[in-house]
Amino acid sequence: MTTAALIVAAGRGLRAEGDVPKQWRELAGRSVLAHTVDRFASCDQIVIVLHPDDMHRAAEFPACLCVPGGATRDASVRAGLEALTRRPPDRVLIHDAARPLVPHAVICRVLDALETAPGAAPALAVIDALWLGTDGVVSGTRDRSNLYRAQTPQGFQFPAILAAHRAHRGSAADDVEVARAAGLSVAIVAGDEANFKITGPEDFARAEERLRTQMDIRTGNGFDVHAFEPGDHVWLCGVKVPHSHGLKGHSDADVGMHAVTDAIYGALARGDIGQHFPPSDPQWKGAPSHIFLEHACALARELGFAITHVDCTLICERPKVGPHAASMRSEMARIMALDVDRVSVKATTSERLGFTGREEGIAAIATATLVKA
């Protein structure tokens, strides 16, 4: 089943104060919205609904589809759902941009519940006493039994929630209200206190503290070597580069892409290319290396990690990498669904020493950094 994330970021967030809306304020060096988007890296597609005045910032999320929102939250959600009809998913997770710390486990619980329910949403049971107040004085109490604090993402079977929003008239507090008005049953799954909504200025300090103490950062490295053989080109980081020789290998021998792939596997502690794609298996004979890299990226997302940066160094005398480096970065970024400024490709020589100095082959070393979403 395919899953889309719809992130609502069209509000102005006035209660959070500051010079810009809260989704654009920095949190640990990145915007709140960037942190939120990372949490849904494992989804098949991501739609971000922005305020019309913010559409110029869509370029900051090249792997996402950004659409302008409406005057109300439900209008913005409707705009995002309509955008998804171009490539309809089976399920959609609708999430507030102001909840940048949603744990991967909460997302998984919502998706698991959607296996048997048309809708599912995380919530926390109300445990405090509830009062009514008049003019600053307690004027009554309310029973807290069966009361919950709603969170997002609120997940639904896509056709059902699309129809519900199209039929809904008037405003709605959230998508559960829209779904229930259409007669859809919504399962409650366990939320998490970490999944709080940034509302006031004090919430930024709280979020910064959680990021400092809970962030799981992984670093992996990869190294690969391929010898030259007769040919007229080599594949390097997804780009076909003319050369007096080819590279020898069971696949297309893209030494740079292999090193990056192994760096990702290493950060995940999930072995190497040879374990996932054995060279003894004839189906991988001559295979394009983007298959391996896409598998490593998908595995990272499946395990709840966002790839934040990769750095690849190609070691050879020739061919000259400089003229092709920009294209290599662009292609690697496309395959990995990353911004180009998160992908580094550079080259060096070995000063005519060793097998690379004798122009017998090319080596590559790579580093990948992953962060638990």
Give the rounded percent of residues in the chain with a pLDDT score beyond 70.
98
Q: Give the model's pLDDT for residue 20.
A: 86
Average pLDDT of the segment spanning 251-267: 97
Q: Give the model's pLDDT for residue 167.
A: 96
Query: Looking at the structure, do residues 202 and 171 belong to the same domain, yes or no?
Result: yes
Of the candidates 324, 297, 327, 291, the residue with the CA atom closest to the CA atom of residue 310: 297
Q: Is pLDDT above 80 for 222? A: yes
Last-in-domain residue among 186, 214, 242: 214
Q: Is pLDDT above 70 for 210? A: yes
Tens of pLDDT along 86-108? 999 999 999 999 999 999 999 99
Residue 236's domain comprises: 217-372
Which pLDDT band holds residue 302 (cuts at 50, 70, 90)?
confident
Query: Looking at the structure, do residues 93 and 126 belong to the same domain, yes or no?
Result: yes
Q: What are phi and psi of 9, to 5 degrees?
A: -135, 35
| Residues 151 and 195: beta-carbon distance below 8 Å | yes
At position 327, the amino acid (one-letter code) is S
Last-in-domain residue among 185, 214, 243: 214
Please count the other Cβ atoms lying within 10 Å of the Cβ belonging to residue 305: 26
Q: Give the model's pLDDT for residue 103.
A: 92
Query: Looking at the structure, do residues 210 and 275 belong to the same domain, yes or no?
Result: no
Query: Looking at the structure, do residues 163 and 23 belong to the same domain, yes or no?
Result: yes
Q: Give the model's pLDDT for residue 22.
A: 92
Which pLDDT band holds residue 213 (cuts at 50, 70, 90)?
confident
Q: Give the model's pLDDT for residue 303.
A: 87
Q: Which residues of 86-119 are buried (b: 16+ CB within 10 A; e: fewer)?
A: eeebebbbbbbbbbbbbbbebbebbbebbeebbb
Q: Give the model's pLDDT for residue 157.
A: 98
* Cis preceding linkage at 288, omega within 30: no
Rounded Cα–Cα distance for residues 9 and 51 (Å): 7
Q: Give the model's pLDDT for residue 351.
A: 94
Q: Give the model's pLDDT for residue 69.
A: 96
Q: Give the model's pLDDT for residue 99.
A: 97
Rounded Cα–Cα distance for residues 223 and 189 (Å): 43
Q: Give the model's pLDDT for residue 214.
A: 67
Q: What is the DSSP letter of 103?
A: -
Rounded Cα–Cα distance for residues 84 and 46 (Å): 9
Give the rounded percent of residues in the chain with a pLDDT score beyond 90.
85
Query: Looking at the structure, do residues 266 and 354 belong to the same domain, yes or no?
Result: yes
**212 or 353: whose pLDDT is higher?**
353
Among 29-33, 119-123, 185-189, which is the least confidently predicted range?
29-33
Q: Is pLDDT above 70 for 293? A: yes
Number of domains in the chain: 2
Q: Give the model's pLDDT for residue 212.
A: 75
Rounded Cα–Cα distance for residues 316 and 352 (Å): 9
CATH number at residue 167: 3.90.550.10
Q: Is pLDDT above 70 for 373? A: no
Please give the torsion angle defined by the CA atoms of residues 104, 87, 57 and 17, in that order, rounded to the nearest 10 degrees: -50
Query: Looking at the structure, do residues 147 and 33 belong to the same domain, yes or no?
Result: yes
Please count the other Cβ atoms lying within 10 Å of the Cβ belonging to residue 318: 15
Q: What is the DSSP string of 21-53?
A: -GGGSEETTEEHHHHHHHTTTTSSEEEEEE-GG
Average pLDDT of the segment spanning 263-287: 93
Rounded Cα–Cα distance for residues 298 and 295 (Å): 5
Average pLDDT of the segment spanning 295-309: 92
Average pLDDT of the segment spanning 229-237: 96
Q: Is pLDDT above 90 for 260? A: yes
| Strand 154-157 to 119-125 pairing | antiparallel
Q: Is pLDDT above 80 for 179? A: yes
Helix/strand/coil for 296: helix
